[in-house]
Amino acid sequence: MAMCTRSLKMPARYRRSVSAGVGGGVLAALLALLLAAPDATAGEIRAAVRDRDGKPVADAVVVAVPAAGTASASHPGVAEEDQRNKEFVPHVLPVQAGTRVSFPNNDNIRHHVYSFSPAKTFELPLYSGTPASPVLFDKPGVIVLGCNIHDWMVGYIYVSESPHFAKTGADGKATLGGLPGGDYTLRVWHPQLEGGEQATARQLAVPSSGAVDAATTIGLVPDFRARRAPTPGRGGY
């Protein structure tokens, strides 16, 4: 099987150490450090998302789709959508298609997690602890999570077709790093996004080395989640 490698030039002091017999361990450590170093030729997108009043928007998912296609050698792996204090944590979880998501319940009561979303319909009947098997999310789209016991518990899993995505923090900013240079379509999604995600799409040229800034303004609709029940001991559940 062919492997893609890059040329490594060893400093003279390490060549002397190896030739003197100090060698194998030093050489292995040097190679590990060089191969683990970030690719200096990769580009990045510094995204900023604000609402129409100019306020930063947290929990917005920013996705960059390469014009050449979304083929990637990355392995999505496993992510986690927790349940704590009768809430889904995180409120928005972005993952790449092919990711398996675990749903641990860290509350001292049982939850019943479900979704009727077209991108993934599933149900985890009333349980505590961690279900034995994570759920595979293999189709791009937005999955709305709910709990059959607590109506206000709503969470979102955004499944991206591209490996290049990030979620904004409280400052409305997110960085998409390690991008090969080229043309991309940039999109933004948020649970309260007004209109469709495709309306936010824009073309962006990413340099092979360095960063490009991308500011997006979106409209938001009110949050229509059910009101949280009172605290335990005061009629809550």
Note the pLDDT of residue 22: 41
Question: Are both 22 and 49 inside the same structural domain?
Answer: no
Note the pLDDT of residue 8: 40
**pLDDT tens column, 140-156:** 999 999 999 999 999 99
Question: Are both 221 and 107 inside the same structural domain?
Answer: no
Q: What CATH number did the domain enclosing 219 receive?
A: 2.60.40.10
**pLDDT tens column, 89-131:** 999 999 999 999 999 999 999 999 999 999 999 999 999 999 8
63 lies in which domain range? 40-72+162-229
Residue 33 has pLDDT above 50, yes or no: no
> In which band, very low, low, confident or very high, does the pLDDT at 4 lie, cut at 50, 70 and 90?
very low
Looking at the 3D structure of the chain, how many domains does it have? 3
Question: Are both 176 and 197 inside the same structural domain?
Answer: yes
Question: Are both 132 and 179 inside the same structural domain?
Answer: no
Question: Are both 66 and 168 inside the same structural domain?
Answer: yes
Q: Distance of CA 164 to CAs 34, 45, 69, 105, Å? A: 24, 10, 12, 29
Question: Are both 20 and 56 inside the same structural domain?
Answer: no
Question: Are both 225 and 193 inside the same structural domain?
Answer: yes
**pLDDT tens column, 207-218:** 999 999 999 999
Question: Are both 57 and 169 inside the same structural domain?
Answer: yes
